[in-house]
Amino acid sequence: MAKYECSEHMHSFLKELPKCEHHVHLEGTLEPSLLFNLAKRNAITLPTHFPPSVEACNERYNRFTDLQDFLDHYYIGMSVLIKEADFYDLAMEYFTKAHSDGCLHSEVFFDPQGHVERGISIDTVVEGFDRACKEANTRFGTTNKLIMCLLRHLPASSGLQTINDAHKYYESGIIHGLGLDSSEKPFPPHLFTDCYQTLKTKFPQVGLTAHAGEEGDHTFVTNSLDLLNVTRIDHGVNSQHSDELMERLAANRTLLSLCPLSNVKLQVVKDVSELPIDKFFNNNVPFSINSDDPAYFGGYILDNYITVHTRFGFNGLQWKQIALNGINGSWCDEDRKTELRNLVDAVHTKYKDLI
Ligand SMILES: Nc1ncnc2[nH]cnc12
Ligand SMILES: [Zn+2]
């Protein structure tokens, strides 16, 4: 289904192009090899219906029927994460891979409720992830932000409790944002209005985002904007079905964090070429390209960029614009944004023949 070639030269350009990732769940970066190592280290027995080996995981992960089928594996997978060092090791594996893909700034999700309900304290989770964020910055010079997600299949009261438990991490800036994930269609945005409002009132600097328009229709996107006051939308592919919404996203420069390989693996589309990526680009709807749950969907950020290239054949100038839109939509400070824009300029100049 590849329509365009990705030459070695284009591959090098896409790898070197400074990229920002805004949509990756740290628990979704749990490679089967680490999953089984941690299960052994922590003496965890996985349920008998979970794939019993790395090979069996790779085979099963290739045929998810929908979002819920994936989530059923994802929540079992994360059950091997017990100690602070487990969360650290998981995040360090991701930051190392992202850095080797040319990703210079990552805003990463995590699901504390998925751990707290198993008896793991939120402090264990956040301390491990925060230590990895700091280590990645020291080791690679990459920047990163933690975004706490609420699980939409749990009641808003549990979300409020989680926000309360995370209070000190928002206060110190260790957690920067709030997101909303898990099963979308049965749990629309209005259920979480109070959670978003409570956090925003206490911490006006917090970044707000939500998964919307992945399996839900475009009203999930509009309602996330209107009721949750988010400034970013995770996925948002179904925004394509409302011209009014498309205009609103473009006018307000609201970033969609698209996840092309995820959409194929979760049967949102059969092939990346069916995604409205050219439509978003041509209508000035800003988007970034992300990996979502790379250990489950078979590709990290660069794999997603390359697949998009083979389907849409963007030229060097268009790729530069996509990279700049990702920087503009990031939650890092202005100095870092300027630094990243200059790096994009330099790489684009180096590959100026790709225009
Ligand atoms: N793609 C996705 N959609 C909703 N919830 C998720 N949790 C992890 N990945 C997710
Ligand atoms: Zn996601």
Which ligand is nearest the CA of 74, by number?
A: 1
Which ligand is nearest the CA of 234, by number?
A: 2
pLDDT digits (tens, 9 = 90+) for 285-330: 999 999 999 999 999 999 999 999 999 999 999 999 999 999 999 9
Residue of the CA atom closest to atom 6 of ligand 1? 182
Pick the catalytic residue: 27, 84, 214, 215? 214
Percent of the chain with pLDDT strictly greater than 90: 99
Q: Cα(49) to centroid of ligand 2, in Å?
A: 24
pLDDT at 18 > cutoff 80: yes
Q: CA-to-CA distance for 262 and 278, rounded, in angstroms?
A: 18
Tokens representing 72? 């059923």
Q: In the predicted model, what is the mean pLDDT of residues 107-136? A: 98
Q: Which residues pair with 207 in a beta bridge?
A: 177
Percent of the chain with pLDDT strictly greater than 70: 100
Q: Is 214 a catalytic residue?
A: yes
27 lines ligand 1 (CB under 6 A): no
* The 255-258 sheet, strands edge to edge: 19-25, 103-110, 143-151, 177-181, 207-212, 232-235, 255-258, 287-289
Which helix (H) or strand (E) element contains residue 112?
helix 112-116
Mutate to test the pocket of ligand 1, among 71, 256, 297 (most ligand atoms within 8 A of CB): 71
The alpha carbons of the chain give a radius of gyration, in whole angstroms, of 19
Q: Cα(182) to centroid of ligand 2, in Å?
A: 8
262 lines ligand 1 (CB under 6 A): yes
Residue of the CA atom closest to atom 5 of ligand 1? 182
In sequence order, the 6+-apart residues with CB closer than 8 A to the CB of 287 are 236, 255, 256, 257, 258, 277, 280, 281, 322, 325
Ligand 1: atom nearest CA of 149 is 7
The domains located in the chain, with CATH, are 20-299 (3.20.20.140)
pLDDT digits (tens, 9 = 90+) for 165-187: 999 999 999 999 999 999 999 99
Q: Cα(262) to centroid of ligand 1, in Å?
A: 9
What does pLDDT average to over the chain? 98
* Confidence band for 355, pLDDT divided at 50, 70 and 90: confident
Mutate to test the pocket of ligand 1, among 211, 233, 258, 265 (most ligand atoms within 8 A of CB): 211
ipTM over 0.95: yes
Q: Which residues pair with 123 in a beta bridge?
A: none
CB distance 67 to 296 below 8 Å: no
Angle (nearest 5°) at CA 156 between 150 and 157: 115
> Tokens 């280590």 map to which residue?
135
Q: Cα(82) to centroid of ligand 2, in Å?
A: 22
From the list 109, 175, 104, the residue with the least C-alpha distance to 142 is: 104
How many CA atoms, within 13 angstroms, populate the side-chain half-sphere of residue 90?
37
Helical packing angle, 243-251 and 218-228, nearest 10°: 40
